[in-house]
């Protein structure tokens, strides 16, 4: 039973206002095609999560779609602080989002707990800091500090997270949803498997037999997946290992644009609202910057050694 559809269809059918979304990526493989589509469709009051958020989260916040953020970090990396994130928190533009603050250990552990059906998980960080003194919408359930029933030592427990929908971008998937990834993983596997539904965006849809040639690369099995979308260049301006490099120049342009509210909206108009889909986005990119710069992002040819699973 094929689950192949367009990003437009996937977001329209499976992302609702008020949903809790896990959005994968870690510089590596942000599902930008889907993020732009969420903005175009104006999904509202979202709760969003991922360890180490970046330009994609900043953009969703600037577009006014985010109510709550379960996060650890939001920055534009080499370009500095997230402008929309700052404006939201410091000035309430377009509105002040609520932030529940964790760390790059505790948050992926909470997603792992969610993916493994654990109610909570002990973590060894956060104690003794102001991260324990601030609690937002999760209130008293942000964490619990207990004496370990084994040795009496103070032990921090953080709750499992189970997002409504996970959106990830991977190298390849089959039409049923079996999704394969290699290279830097971030919290993509635990985040996707913690969710009730998974939308898989990928560089290429491959035959089920291709999946079966190397099944240890699969991070999400078909039965968790509700939609499969083929979106080449779908992580730009982030990268996908083996497909294309990070577009540092474009990242800088986003930072420059998002320095002001007007610049941010002009950016959204040009790259999101006036663009129907990722094909048009890529075409616009090539028209604006030239085929040379586009081609330059393409990954070199450097393949791994094949392995065999035969007996």
Partner 1 sequence: MSAHPNGYIKPELMACCGAREIKNHHVVIVGTGFPAMSANIAKHTHAPDAILMQESGVVDARPKRPALSVGDPCLNPGAAMVGNLLDIMGMFLQAGWVDVGFLSGSQVDKFGNINTTAIGDYEHPKTRLPGSGGANPIGSLAKKTLIIALHDKRRLAERVDFITTPGYIDGNGARERWGLPANTGPECIITNKAILRFDKTTGEACLESYHPGHSIDEIRENTPWDLKILENVHETEPPTERELEVIRKILDPHRMISIYEKRGYV
The interface mask with partner 1, positions 167-206, x = CB under 8 A, is -------x-x-x---xxxxxxxxx--x-------------
265 near partner 1, judged by CB under 8 A? no
The interface mask with its own copies, positions 3-42, x = CB under 8 A, is ----------------------------------------
305 near partner 1, judged by CB under 8 A? no
Rank residues 63 and 191 by Cβ distance to partner 1 and give the closer one.
Answer: 191
Helix (H/G/I), strand (E/B), else coil: 35 = helix
Rank residues 9 and 207 by Cβ distance to its own copies and give the closer one.
Answer: 207
| Spacing of C-alpha 175 from chain mean position | 21
78 near partner 1, judged by CB under 8 A? yes
Helix (H/G/I), strand (E/B), else coil: 276 = coil
Q: List the single partner that 171 binds among its own copies, partner 1, none, CB under 5 to 8 Å by kind.
A: its own copies
Number of residues that bind partner 1 (CB under 8 A): 82
Beta-carbon contacts of 165 under 8 Å, excluding residues fewer than 6 positions away, are 14, 15, 19, 20, 21, 22, 195, 196, 197, 198, 199
What are the distances in angstroms from CA 11 to CA 157, 199, 239? 34, 8, 22
183 near its own copies, judged by CB under 8 A? yes
Rank residues 58 and 187 by Cβ distance to its own copies and give the closer one.
Answer: 187
155 near partner 1, judged by CB under 8 A? yes
Residue 53 backbone dihedrals phi, psi, to 5 degrees: -85, 160
Q: How far apart are CA 124 and CA 185, in angstroms?
A: 22
Contacts to its own copies from residues 46-85, by CB under 8 A: none
Residue 92 falls in which region: left (phi positive, over 0), alpha (psi -120 to 50) or beta? left
Residue 179 C-beta: closest distance to its own copies, Å: 14
Contacts to its own copies from residues 132-161, by CB under 8 A: 141, 144, 146, 148-151, 153, 155, 157, 159
Among 86, 135, 265, 284, binds partner 1 (CB under 8 A): 86
Contact 90, 84 (CB under 8 A): no
299 near its own copies, judged by CB under 8 A? yes
Q: How far apart are CA 233 and CA 250, in angstroms?
A: 14
Contacts to its own copies from residues 111-130, by CB under 8 A: 116-124
Rank residues 239 and 285 by Cβ distance to partner 1 and give the closer one.
Answer: 239
**Tokens 């009051």, residue located:** 45
Rank residues 140 and 151 by Cβ distance to partner 1 and give the closer one.
Answer: 151
Residue 201 C-beta: closest distance to partner 1, Å: 18
Residue 49's Cβ-count burial label (10 Å; 0-12, 13-18, 19+) is buried
Beta strand segments in 153-287, E: 154-159, 165-173, 179-180, 197-205, 218-220, 225-230
Contacts to partner 1 from residues 208-247, by CB under 8 A: 208-209, 211-213, 215-216, 218, 221-224, 239, 241, 245-246
Residue 127 C-beta: closest distance to partner 1, Å: 4
Helix (H/G/I), strand (E/B), else coil: 98 = strand
Q: List the single partner that 120 binds among its own copies, partner 1, none, CB under 5 to 8 Å by kind.
A: its own copies
Q: How far apart are CA 156 and CA 15, in angstroms?
A: 33
């Amino acid at each position: 039973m094929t689950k192949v559809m367009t990003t437009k269809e996937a977001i329209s059918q499976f992302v609702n206002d008020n949903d809790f979304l896990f959005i994968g990526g870690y510089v590596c493989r942000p599902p930008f095609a889907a993020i732009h589509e969420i903005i175009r469709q104006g999904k509202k009051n979202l709760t969003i999560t991922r360890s180490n958020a970046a330009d994609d989260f900043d953009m969703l916040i600037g577009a006014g779609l985010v109510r709550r953020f379960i996060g650890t970090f939001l920055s534009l990396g080499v370009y500095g602080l997230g402008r929309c994130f700052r404006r939201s928190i410091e000035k309430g533009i377009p509105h002040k989002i609520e932030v529940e603050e964790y760390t790059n250990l505790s948050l992926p552990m909470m997603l792992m707990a969610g993916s493994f059906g654990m109610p909570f998980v002990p973590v060894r960080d956060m104690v003794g800091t102001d991260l324990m003194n601030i609690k937002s919408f999760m209130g008293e359930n942000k964490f619990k500090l207990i004496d370990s029933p084994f040795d009496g030592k103070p032990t921090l427990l953080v709750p499992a997270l189970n997002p409504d929908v996970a959106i990830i971008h991977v190298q390849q998937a089959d039409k049923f949803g079996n999704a394969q990834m290699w290279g830097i993983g971030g919290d993509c596997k635990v985040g996707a498997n913690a969710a009730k539904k998974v939308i898989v965006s990928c560089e290429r849809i491959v035959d089920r037999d291709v999946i079966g040639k190397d099944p240890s690369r699969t991070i999400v099995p078909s039965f968790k997946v509700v939609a499969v979308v083929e979106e080449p260049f779908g992580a730009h301006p982030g990268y996908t290992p083996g497909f294309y490099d990070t577009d540092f120049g474009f990242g800088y342009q986003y930072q420059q644009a998002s320095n002001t509210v007007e610049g941010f909206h002009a950016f959204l108009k040009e790259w999101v609202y006036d663009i129907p889909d990722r094909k048009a986005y890529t075409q616009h990119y090539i028209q604006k910057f030239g085929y040379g710069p586009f081609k330059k992002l393409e990954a070199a040819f450097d393949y791994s050694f094949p392995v065999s699973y035969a007996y």
